[in-house]
């Protein structure tokens, strides 16, 4: 596998996941450390006030903004799967992207991409029919989709002529099939271990699964979750690797 070029790798984070008076995540600390913000659109987290504030902050920091649509499940934070038809998936993604795009228009910022959240992200990674629904929205907005390399995310996007941006996760583990192990509750991540994972993936193009298997990975962006308790420390460590 070809070695990743360090200068081409960006850092992204899922932001704007507060709700009303309840704060969530490390947005203020992360915004100055990332290149791209995936902003929650109100279904799994976020609300109009939070979206407006997050978009405004991103513009101040020169951070690109994409939509982070999730399942309509505030209580479960979008991390509980639902049985949905492709039409339902397209409608809920289109609705959320449209909501965020209204705030982007206010600040003169173009929509950068679409990246599904949580269980919706996992559902689309396994089901090409559902992923096609997300791709149709991306086609209408003429933006890329972010996702898991080698999954239905990539296969459907590339088949339909939509640019795919592969992600590397340094604060989550991978199973032996190359899928992400998503926990309901976030946990702290060792910054040194995260940096080592990033460096290995950049230099060797591989990741190591929880079963000890070495898998190839091609990616363009590294994701750091804002709800990781020490997310800013992880971002600083990863920045040191790719800078």
Which pLDDT score, from 0 to 100, does residue 185 have? 73
Distance of CA 91 to the CA centre of its chain: 20
pLDDT at 183 over 80: no
pLDDT at 4 over 70: no
Q: Determine whether 120 is exposed, middle or buried from the number of CB atoms within 10 Å of its CB (0-12, 13-18, 19+).
A: buried
Helix or strand (DSSP H, E) at 140: helix 128-141
CA-CA distance, 241 to 121, in Å (whole number)?
Answer: 27
Render pLDDT for 104-121 as a digit per residue (tens, 0 to 9). Answer: 999 999 999 999 999 999
Give mean pLDDT, residues 190-206: 95
Cα-flanking dihedrals φ and ψ of residue 34, to 5°? -115, 165
pLDDT at 5 over 70: no
Which pLDDT score, from 0 to 100, does residue 151 have? 95
CA-CA distance, 51 to 40, in Å (whole number)?
Answer: 7
CA-CA distance, 187 to 229, in Å (whole number)?
Answer: 6
Which pLDDT score, from 0 to 100, does residue 186 have? 74
pLDDT at 173 over 60: yes
Query: Between 187 and 155, whose confidence is greater?
Result: 155
CA-CA distance, 209 to 109, in Å (whole number)?
Answer: 38
pTM of the predicted protein model: 0.93
C-alpha distance from residue 175 to each of 172, 224, 230 (Å): 10, 18, 23
């Amino acid at each position: 596998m070809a070695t990743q070029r360090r200068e081409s790798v960006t850092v992204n984070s899922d932001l704007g996941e507060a709700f009303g008076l309840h704060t969530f995540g490390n947005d203020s600390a992360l915004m100055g450390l990332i290149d791209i913000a995936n902003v929650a659109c109100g279904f799994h987290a976020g609300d109009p006030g939070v979206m407006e504030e997050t978009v405004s902050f991103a513009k101040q920091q020169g951070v690109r903004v994409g939509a982070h649509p999730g399942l309509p499940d505030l209580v479960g934070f979008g991390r509980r799967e639902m049985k949905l038809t492709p039409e339902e998936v397209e409608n809920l993604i289109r609705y959320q992207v449209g909501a965020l795009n209204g705030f982007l228009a206010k600040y003169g910022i173009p929509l950068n991409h679409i990246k599904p959240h949580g269980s919706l992200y996992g559902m689309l990674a396994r089901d090409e029919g559902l992923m096609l629904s997300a791709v149709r929205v991306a086609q209408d907005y003429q933006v890329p989709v972010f996702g898991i390399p080698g999954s239905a995310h990539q296969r459907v996007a590339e088949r339909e002529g939509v640019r795919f941006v592969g992600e590397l996760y340094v604060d989550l583990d991978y199973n032996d099939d190359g899928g992400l192990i998503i926990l309901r509750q976030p946990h702290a991540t060792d910054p040194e271990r995260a940096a080592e994972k990033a460096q290995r993936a950049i230099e060797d193009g591989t990741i190591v699964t929880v079963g000890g298997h070495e898998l190839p990975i091609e990616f363009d962006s590294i994701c750091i979750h804002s709800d990781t308790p020490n997310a800013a420390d992880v971002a600083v460590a990863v920045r040191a690797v790719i800078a």
